[in-house]
Amino acid sequence: MPTHLTEEFIANRLREFDHPNHSEPPFEQFQGKLPRPAAVLLPLLVQGGNWHILYTRRADRVEHHKGQVSFPGGAADPQDHSPEDTALRETEEEIGVRRTDVRVLGRLGQMHTVTNFIVTPVVGVIPWPYGFKIHTLEVGRVFTMPLEWLANKNNYQEFIRKETERALVAYYPFDGELLWGATARMTVSFIQALGL
């Protein structure tokens, strides 16, 4: 792990970085409707002396993004006072990480997704190893990817899909998982914020 990538360094970079907001025009059925606020946790952890990012693969029974790689998170509830509240509540519900076990370091820019959510990514560090309690109706798998691998530009592509004319970020497979779409875009935004 590069010695400069301390929690303090990451938190400072998140505060100082001019985070762009990303917008993917919503699918036709959502156009004209107010977007729903949502938040996800981008969970960092140290494994084998190196930073990793934790992801989930969504179960096949969820309403949106079935079977896709994602961060834990979801739509804001009325009792949530901030994106951090939403991200930590959803993370505890989905994979059993207690909010008191997460050290929040900052946020990335908001993203308007094709399914008409305004998502705020919240970056936080979780202890490792961790005894997850996976809510199997929502989550099919929990796994990590090394930050060093994710930051290597040879491992992902950015392109415009011809059929939709939408910009897309897609990583090559890692451990049998395909990281692409909004979650890949958030990952790349985090890497850019760190200057990697």
DSSP summary character for residue 148:
H
The residues that bridge with 44 in the sheet, in sequence order, are 53, 125
Round to whole Å and give the CA distance between 108 and 52.
17
Q: How far is CA 11 from the centre of its chain?
A: 16
Strands 139-146 and 69-70: unpaired
Entry pTM: 0.92
User: What does the pLDDT read at residue 63?
Assistant: 57
Domain definitions of the chain by residue range: 7-194
Burial class (CB in 10 A: 0-12, 13-18, 19+), 117: buried
Region class of 165: left (phi > 0), else alpha (psi between -120 and 50), else beta:
left
Name the one residue in this structure whose structure tokens are 């994710």. Answer: 150
Q: What is the pLDDT along the chain (196 residues), one digit of tens a residue?
A: 566 899 999 999 999 998 878 877 777 777 788 889 999 999 999 999 999 999 999 876 655 556 799 999 999 999 999 999 999 999 999 999 999 999 999 999 999 888 889 999 999 999 999 999 999 888 989 999 999 999 999 999 998 877 667 778 999 999 999 999 999 999 999 999 999 9
Distance in angstroms (rounded) separating the CA atoms of residues 117 and 111: 8
Contact 87, 70 (CB under 8 A): no
Nearest to 86, CA basis, from 77, 94, 95, 97 = 77
DSSP string, 174-195: BTTB--BHHHHHHHHHHHHHHT
**CA–CA distance, 10 with 106 (Å, rounded to integer):** 8
- What is the second-level CATH architecture of the domain 7-194? Alpha-Beta Complex (3.90)
Find how far residue 53's CA is from the centre of its chain.
9
What pLDDT is recorded for position 33? 86
